[in-house]
Structure 1
Amino acid sequence: MDFETDRRRFLELAGTGTALSLAGCSALQDDAAQQTTTTGTDGSGEGSRRVAVTVQPDQQRLQERRQEIQSELSSGNVSRSEAQQQYQTAQQELLTRAVDSFRQRADSTENLRVVGAVEQFGIVLVAGGPATLIDSLSFEMVNALLPQETFQRAKSQAQGGAGTGTAGSEAGAGATPVESSTETPSN
C-alpha cells in the first residue's frame, strides 16, 4: 500500500533529492552576498547564511507504524481511507518530533539558529556559518540542505493549502502546522 502525503508531493514539486541537496550546498557559496547579514556572530552575523534544511521522521518508528496499520487493514479493522489517514497522522507526528529534535540540536550548536519552520513539510529555515550549516548534515534527522527559496515555497504552500496552514509563534508551535519566528528576507 502506498500512502501519499502532502509532504511527499511538496518535496517532489520542490525537486528535492540528491541533485538539490548538492545544489543546496553550492548555494552556500553562490548566494553568499545575497544571504549575508551584518550583525553579531550567533548565526545571524557576519558570514552567516540562510538555508532550508529538510528533516525526516524516525524511519524505523514510521515503518513499525506502517506495518501496524497494514495489519489492521488486512484484518478488516479499518478501511483504506482510514488507514491512509492514520499513516499520515503518524507521519506528521513523527515529522513534528524530528523538527523539535532539530531545534534542540540547533539550540545547542554554536553559530546555528532556527529562523522558522514549516513542520507539515519537515522544512526548517536556519541561519549560521557555512561550515556549521554543512556540519548540520551530520544530524541524524537531516536529509538535505536546500536553497532558502525552498522554505519560502513551502511556507506559501502551507499557508495557502486547503486552509490548514496558519502562521504561529514559538509559543503555539505544538499543534500549528506552520510556525515562523523572526524571519526577514535578506538582500
Structure 2
Amino acid sequence: MSNTPNRRRFLQLAGVGATASVAGCSQLNLDDDETSDDGNENATSEEDQEPGIDPTDGITAIVQPNQEELAPIEQELGAVEQEYMALTQSEEADEEELEALQDRYEELYTEYVEIFEARSAEFESDVEDDDELSIEGAIADQGVFLLEASDERLVDTLRNGEVDGLVPGGEYEQIRQQGEEAEADPDPET
C-alpha cells in the first residue's frame, strides 16, 4: 500500500470510522502491534478468536466503552474527515496537508479502537472467574463476544450492565466474517 494519501483510502478509513461511531464497533485494526504505547501487552483476546462453539448455540454480547469517552474522538474524526473532503475538492489541495490529515485520522481511529480493546479486556477480566458464563469467542477491538450461559445468567449480564446488548449468536459469525473481508482487501486501489 502506498504511503501517499489518496481520496479513496481516506474515504475507506472515514467510512469505517463512521460505521464504528454508529454501530459502536470497528472493523479495521490500524496497529497490528500486540503492545500498547507503554510497552505492556494488551490484556484482550486475539483480534479474531475462532468460536469454541457453533455461534448459533450461543449469544452475541456487545460491550461498549462509556459514550462520554468516545464522543470527543468521534467529533474530531468527523471534523478531520470534513476538512479532508473540503481540501480534496479544492484546487489548492496540498499533498502534505492531505497526508497530515490522513495521519491524524489514523491516530484518532487507533485511539478509538484502543478504547474498545480496553473495555473488552475489562469485560473479559470481570467474567474470567464466573462459573456460570463462558466466553466462547471474542473480537476484542469491536467489543463483541460469543457467550455461553443459562438464559437467566445472560439476562443478568444485561440487567447488571456487564454488557450493553445481546443479539443472536449468529451475529458473531457475521461480524467476524466482515472483519475478515475488511482485512483481506484493506485498500482496493493498490
**TM-score of the superposition, structure 2-length normalised?**
0.52
Matched, 1:55 2:63: yes
Q: 1:164 to 1:143 in 2, by over 3 A?
A: farther
**2:142 — aligned with what?**
121
Q: 1:133 to 1:89 in 2, by over 3 A?
A: same
Could you tell me how far apart the structure 2 residues matched to 1:69 and 1:141 are? 28
**Contact residue 80 and residue 101 of structure 2 kept, 8 A:** no
* Rg larger in structure: 2
Matched, 1:8 2:19: yes
Matched, 1:93 2:101: no
Q: Secondary structure at the match of 1:162?
A: helix
Gaps of 5+ in 2: 1-13, 24-52, 84-96
**2:104 — aligned with what?**
83
Could you tell me how far apart the structure 2 residues matched to 1:64 and 1:6 are? 13
Q: Secondary structure at the match of 1:160?
A: helix
Q: 2:129 aligns with which of 108, 115, 120?
A: 108
Q: 1:142 to 1:162 in 2, by over 3 A?
A: same
Gaps of 5+ in 1: 13-43, 166-187
Could you tell me how far apart the structure 2 residues matched to 1:118 and 1:164 are? 19
Q: Tell me by how many angstroms 1:67 deviates.
A: 6.1
Where relative contact order (Cα < 8 A, 6+ residues apart) is larger, the structure is: 2
Tell me the matched-pair count: 126
**1:23 — aligned with what?**
none
Question: Between the two proteins, what is the percent identity of the paired residues?
Answer: 18
Q: Tell me by how many angstroms 1:141 deviates.
A: 5.8
Q: Tell me by how many angstroms 1:125 deviates.
A: 0.4
Pairs within 5 Å for 1:37-76: 50-66=58-74
**Contact residue 56 and residue 95 of structure 1 kept, 8 A:** yes
Q: Tell me by how many angstroms 1:114 deviates.
A: 0.6
Tell me which amino acid in the other structure corresponds to 2:131: E
Could you tell me how far apart the structure 2 residues matched to 1:71 and 1:152 are? 33
**Contact residue 121 and residue 140 of structure 2 kept, 8 A:** no
**TM-score of the superposition, structure 1-length normalised?**
0.53
**2:184 — aligned with what?**
163
Could you tell me how far apart the structure 2 residues matched to 1:160 and 1:130 are? 32
Tell me which amino acid in the other structure corresponds to 2:120: V
CA RMSD of aligned residues (A): 3.7
